[in-house]
Amino acid sequence: QVQLVESGGGQVQPGGSLRLSCTASEFTLEYYPVTWFRQAPGTEREGVAGFSDSDGSGETYYADSVKGRFTISRDNARNTVYLQMNSLKPEDTAVYYCATDLMIPRRWDDDSEYDYWGQGTQVTVSS
């Protein structure tokens, strides 16, 4: 059974940085698409950043709202996918989830395309 675990959330001031981690047990993330989503209270879950590849191409995707500020990366030796978040804004406040699936999604940011999810980690940006 695929189990994803996120960590690294917390509270930070506007303009600050956080790095989220997503690890998996009994599952090699390197070979599957992995996407970070977030959900703020009263809003729909949205895709933030993702790896599409199962072919090793390393192609990445970002929501327009985070381009230039967030970076998704992976450390295959640690079986971990990271989300480096810089220049954080109050509107980045949300629960962040990582997700994966055995198939490449038709749309990287469609949460219905992913079967496996972590429990989420809270990110709060406030002064």
* pLDDT tens digits along 79-98: 999 999 999 999 999 999 99
pLDDT higher than threshold 80 for residue 57: no
The mean pLDDT of 56-76, rounded to a whole number, is: 90
* CA–CA distance, 70 with 109 (Å, rounded to integer): 15
What the block records as the tokens of 52 is: 């599409």
Give the pLDDT of residue 30.
Answer: 87
Q: What is the DSSP letter of 65?
A: T
Report how far residue 42's alpha carbon sits from residue 57's, in angstroms, rounded to the nearest whole number.
Answer: 36
How far apart CA 36 and CA 109 sit, in angstroms, is 9
Residue 56: pLDDT over 60: no
